[in-house]
Structure 1
Amino acid sequence: MTLRRIESDSEQHITEKSEPGGWSHSTSLRWRLSLLSATLVAIAVGIITVAAYWTVSSFLTASVDRDLEQKADALLSRAAEPDFYAHVDHELEGLKVFNTGLRVAFAPPHWDFVVGDSIALPGSIVLENADSGTQMMNTSTERILVKKDESGAAVILAKDVTETHRLISTLGILLLTIGGVGVLVSILLGFFIANAGLRPLVRLQNAVDEIARTDDLRGIPVVGNDELARLTVSFNAMLKALRESRQRQSQFVADAGHELKTPLTSMRTNIELLMMSTRPDMPAISEQDRKDLERDVLAQMTEMSTLIGDLVDLAREESREVSEQIQLEHVLDTALGRVASRRLGVQIKIVESIPWTINGDEFSLTRALVNVLDNAIKWSPEKGIVRVALRPLSDGFVRITVEDSGPGISPEDRELVFERFYRAVSSRSMPGSGLGLSIVYQVVQRHFGNLEVSDSDDGGTKIIIDLPGRPGGSDFET
C-alpha cells in the first residue's frame, strides 16, 4: 500500500511539472483561498472606491455649479433694475468681494463689449446665440458659467476650482490607500480563516498519511458534524470495506493453501511411489498396487480440479455484480437438467413450481441451485428421492425447498456448513471441497434472500432458500 502511494505521489508530481501554467497545482490550498478572498475583497473595494470617488467628485462639481448659477440669477435679476447700469462696476466688484476666487464679466443687451474681468471662453454657444440659455465650461483651473436671459444680458462667472481639484485628488489617494490596506488585511484574515477552516482537512490528511505509512486500516476519529466530518465517515466506511476485503483475501488464501496442500501432498507421494517402482534398483510392486496408486492419483487430481473450480467460483461470486430480470422457474429447470444424469439411481421429483420473476444474476443462481441439488443427490441413498418445490411464501418472497433422504445434518453442524471449507465429521470420507454451500450462501445473501437448513420429512436434509421477487410477469421493478 505504501509503495502504491509513493508511485501515486510521483505521478502527481510529474503531472504538475508537465502541465503548463501549473501555479494552482504548486500553490497550497490555504494560499489559494487567501488570495481568492483577497481578490474578491479587492474587487469589492475597487468598486466601492470608484463609486465613492465618482459620487464625491460629482457632488462637489454640482455644488460649484449650483453656487455659480444662483449668483448668475441674482446678478441678472439685479440687471433688470433701472439704476443697475449706472453702478455696474460697483455691483460686479461687490459680488467678487464676498466670493474669493470668483471672476465676473457682464455683457449688457446689444453691447459689443463686456464689463468686468476679461475671461477667455473656450467657445460659448450661448453668447453666439440670440436666445437665452446656460452653458458650463472647464479650463485647467476654473469652472466657467455663461448665462443669458431673455433681454439679451449675459453673465460670465469663472470660479477657481484648484482647491476643489486638490480635495478630490486627496480623496482619491485616501480611498486608494484605504483600499490597499483593506486588501492586505483581507489577505491576512483570509489566511487566518483558511488556516482555521482547513485545520480539520489537515488533520484528515495527516491521518491518511499515517495510514499509508503504517498500513494500519483503523478508523479515523470523527470531529463535528460538517462536510469534513461526513467525508471522514465515508472514508472510515471505505477503510472498513478495505479491511474486511483484506481479511477475506487473507482467509481465502490461507484456507485455499491449506486445502490444496493435503491432496497435493498425497498425490506427490503416490507419484513418487510410481516413479520408484520403475527404477531397477527398487523392489517391484504388484500390478494391483500399481492400479490402486494410479486410481488414487486420478482421484486426487479430480479432487484438486473440483477444489480449484470451487475456489474460482467463490472468487467470482465476491466480485460479480450482474443484475437482470430473470424467470426463477427457468433457472431451476436449467439446474435440474445439469444434475439429472449425475446419479441415475436417485430420482428427482418436482413437487411444485410456479412462475416467478426476480432481479438478479442468472449464472450465480443456477450455480447455487446446482450445488444444492448436487449435495442432495450425493447424500441420498440408492433409489432415493430428491424433492424440489418452488412455492410462494408471500406477495414479495418465494421459497425454494430441496429435500433428500440422506442421513441429514446434525443440529450442531447446521450453523457451520455455510462456512468455507467446513466439512462435518461424517462427511470427510466423501469427496468434496467444503465450498459448495458457502457459494450458495454468498449468492443468496447477494440476492437479499435467506438460507436455512432443517430436517426433511424422512430424516434427511432440507435446504430452504427464500428470495424476493414477484409472481408471474417480467415487469419486476427493484
Structure 2
Amino acid sequence: MNDTKKSADVYSIKTKDALGVGLHLIPKIEPEKLLIIQRRVHEKMDDYKGYSFSSTEKRALMIFFDLAQEFDNLEEFFAVCTSVPKVLFNVDCRLYIASGQDEFISVGGTEGKSPVCTSVPLEKEFTAGHLFIPIRGNHELIGQLEFKPAEDVIGCYEIYKFDDLSDHQALFFEKFVNRVGFQLHSKLLRRRSQDHLEFVRNLVKDVGHNVIVPNMYFKLFYNRLRDRIESLQTLSDGLDNKSTEEIKKELNTLYTGLVSQFNEIHSHYEQTSLFLETLLRRRHFEEGRYIVEKRPCNLLKQIIEPQLERYRSRFEERGIRIDLSMGGVPDREVRIVADVGLISQVYANLFSNAVKYTREVVLSDGRHDKFTAYGWDHLEKYFENGWDGLKLNVFTSGPPITQEDREQLYQAGFRCENTGNEYGSGHGLFFVRQVVELHGGNVGYESGDRGNNFYFILPFGAE
C-alpha cells in the first residue's frame, strides 16, 4: 500500500515538472460531458456499421489519415488528397480551395490536363459523370481565415468520370471528403499562422533596418545642435571684446546654422514618423502581411526629394556627387498609385546603399569621379497585361558586381563580397523586392561602364 502511494506521488511530481504547471490547474471534464462523448462513440460505431464500407474503403480512410500526418507540406498534402482515390479506386479527381469570396483555384489533380470547373456548388452535385463535393471548414474557426467563405465552403473535391454512381459510392466519397476538409482547414490555419509569424519576424527586421538604425543619426544631429548652443554661450562671454558688427555677423552665422539644424532634425523626424506609421499599421498585424495603401502621388515631391534630403549630408561627407543625368522625374502628379510610406522606404534603402557602396571611378578622359544618380524611364506596354511601366533607377559609380552576386542581390540576408567593413544586414534589397512586388512590379540590376544600376519597375498609369 505504501509502495503504491509512493509511486503515485513520484508520478505526480514528474507530471507537474513536465507540464510546467500544478496538477490542480489541469481542467477536468464534467461527468455530463463525458457521458455525451461516450454516447457519440457508440453512435459512430453504429454509423460505421451501417455504412458497410468495404475493406478497401476502410483502408483508404486509414491510409489518408496516416499520410495526411506524414506529409505536412501543403503542396504534398494536396497530392495525398487526390492520390489515395486514384491508387485505390482508379478514379481521377481534382482539388480546389477558396482563394477569395466566391473564388476557387485548382491546387492539384491526377491528370495534368483534367477539366477545371468554373463554379463550385455549395451542395453535393453529380452531373455528366462528375461528382462535386463541397469542402466545409470548421464553423468555429472560419473567422481565422483571410475571408469569410460562403456557407463555410473552403474548397471542393471533384471526382470523375463515372458511367454511373451508386448511393454507396457517393456516401463513401462524401465521408472521405469530410476528412479531407478537416485536415485541409487545419493545415491552412497552420500555414497562415506560420506566414503570420514569419511576417512579424521580417517586420522586426524592417523596423530595425529602416527606423532604428537610421535613428542613430539623431545623436549626431543633437551633438551638432549642442555645439551651436555652446557657441551662443561663448559669444555671450565675449560680448565686451567685440564690436556690434562682429556680434551681428556671428549671430547671423549661428542663426543660419540653427535653422539648418532644425530643418534637418525636423525632416528626419517626419520621415521616421512616416516609416513607423507605415510599418506599424494595424492591418499589417491583423492580416499577417503588408497591406498596401495606394494613392496617386507626386513621385518627385512626396517620395524622392524627401529621401534625397535625408541622405544629402551623408553623400557630401563621403564626397559623393549627385548626378541628374539619368533623367528627371516630372514635377507633376505621376499616377503610379503607390503606397507613399513603403515606396519612400524603398528609396531610403537604395540611397542608404548608395552612401555606403559608391566608389571612385576613372572616366574616359582620365578624370576621377565618385557619384550617384537617379532617374526614370517610361516603358510602354511593359507588363503582360498591356500596362506601361515606370522604371526607376538609382545608379552608383564603382566596380561592377560579380555575376555570382548579381543572382542573389535581392535575396534575404545576402551581402555582396565587396561590402568591406560597411555596416549592413543584407535586408535592405530584400525589403525593396517585397514592397515592389506588392505593388505589382519587379526589381532588377544592370551593370555599366562606370558602375551599377539598381532599378525597380512599377505599373504606370494603370489604376
TM-score by length of 2: 0.41
Give the number of the structure whose alpha-carbon radius of gyration is greater.
Answer: 1
Higher relative contact order (CA 8 A, sep 6+): 1
